[in-house]
A = this chain, B = another copy of it.
């Protein structure tokens, strides 16, 4: 990106780009943001990176592979945002609430990134094979961890391991469903501002938070 803009007058456009890999990922992110994931083309990406259409194939096996890499990055971003949201807060239940809001808010503010993370091409393209790019979701392990904090603090009467597993799935599904409905679903027309989304998330998750139990 910087290379072609700065040196195109001085020398004869270096044959090797230097750090195409990173440039591609960066450009791809903004491109997906603009045109959506479906209007995203490898050739346009190469064009923006100032490189031939075949160049990206030396850094990513596929278009799908590039998208997988993007999704991996977004997963990490979401994890960081979640960490940041609960930083400094002590009360486990408040941490849980903040975490949920952070999740939904991330989806609301970065819709294309959120969509990419749950795309079909990421999951076992051959139906059985595991994709090595996809690690256990950082946001999910964080959620589990906080739920354990809650139990230890006595905020939640969960004893069995099974009940804790169910509670975490419950929370995740709730928050993820909310995010999906807001981003791509029927709630997208009703809730448009950041404040509305935060308020809705608080109230919807709040109901389930206070009595989230009596597990199996």
Contacts and interface: CB of A to CB of B under 8 A. Distances in A.
A106 to B, nearest CB: 15
A60 interface: no
Contact of A120 (B172, B173, B181, B184): B184
A176 to B, nearest CB: 4
Interface string A88-123: 000000000000000000000000000100111101
Interface of A (DSSP majority class): helix
Interface string A26-69: 00000000001110000000000000000000000000000000
Interface in A142-189: 166-167, 169-170, 172-181, 184-189
A121 B137 CA distance: 27
A12 to B, nearest CB: 40
A212 B216 CA distance: 16
Given A173-B177, A175-B177, A118 B184 contact: yes
Given A173-B177, A176-B185, A177-B179, 9 more contacts: A37-B120, A123-B188, A173-B204, A175-B177, A176-B180, A177-B178, A177-B180, A207-B213, A211-B211
